[in-house]
Chains A and B, each alone.
Chain A
Amino acid sequence: MLFSFLPDGQVLAKGPANPGHGALECADCHDSAPGTVRQQVQAAVAFGLGLREAPPLVGRLPVSSGVCLDCHERERDVHPTRDFVEPKYLDEREEIAAHECLTCHKEHSGRHVANTGQYCYACHQNQGLIENPIQPTHPALVASERWDTCLRCHDYHGNHEWVEPRTLEDAIDGRSVLRHLDSGAPLYGEKIEPASSGRTR
């Protein structure tokens, strides 16, 4: 907490900023915890002495998806994180925390997507996929667990002017996908810019 007084918050960062976030200050994403530093210290001491039920929030708050969406609101999103707060998605939340932006876009990792981008199985191995005239077929890809191929055709958020190819031969090559996950290099064409959302956070 004492380090909160340091002028350059980057000293405290867990790692390098993700692509596009280099110019952000800590406070751009991390809201302050309620109360003054002294109140927080006193509450922490009280908790330590058993005089308080819950530990206080101290320093800066963890970042929620709502904070991300303040800047990254999309006109169109085929996998909005908010969908996954519905109780029925318990298994998917436990498996991949699909309701949190940070599951994939883990900040301070220096990467655009901090995993392999092969999370589609969590929902789509059970829910089925639309059988449409593509080669190989979706059921065939699922049966052979080719989860590495999903992002070669599908824009996960669906917020780009992207026409999905019909065959893997016409799809984006795997190396380009990995480069996109690493650096955020454009992969699916022009972004569809959102209209003003008037978010109330």
Chain B
Amino acid sequence: MNEFNLKEGSRKNGIKGLIGGIITFIVIPLILLYVLGYLENIIISNASGDIDKDDMKALFKIADNILIMSLIFGIPAIALKTLGKFYPEGNRARLTFKLLYGMYIAFWLFIITYGGIITVDAGKIAASMAGNSSDYLISGLTIVLDVSGLMIIIILLTLLKNIIPIAEYKGARKEYLERMGDSK
């Protein structure tokens, strides 16, 4: 019995997985991109003359890049999610694709958050916020947000979620094999 055979799966469940994947990895990032673009236009058009608009745009660009990367790297996740849903519970192919999906999501999180280290160059914003002092001039400000420790915990939790498909497989395997035996 080849459990990876496409005949083993359910087209209806596969479509459900595909729709779920498209919503998670395409629709939501696109909505967020639209909202960010909208906010960017409002904030920049209302910004005072001293605030450097190019720097403000650069800040929004970081968030845009995260969402664009989540879109690009989300495509394999959609495929894995679809295949994970396509096969029935207790099937080895379902377990395999669900485990691969869990591992890929951990990788996806690492990639879209730049490993948890995000660098922001905000020199011009800092200069404009500091005002026009004759004593000093701010010529650069770099802020490094290091949430790599937090990302490691979140990635570990994501990997820990792989217990669910393993438990599902264990709980449904016997009944799946019985059903397969009956159908022959």
A and B interact physically? no
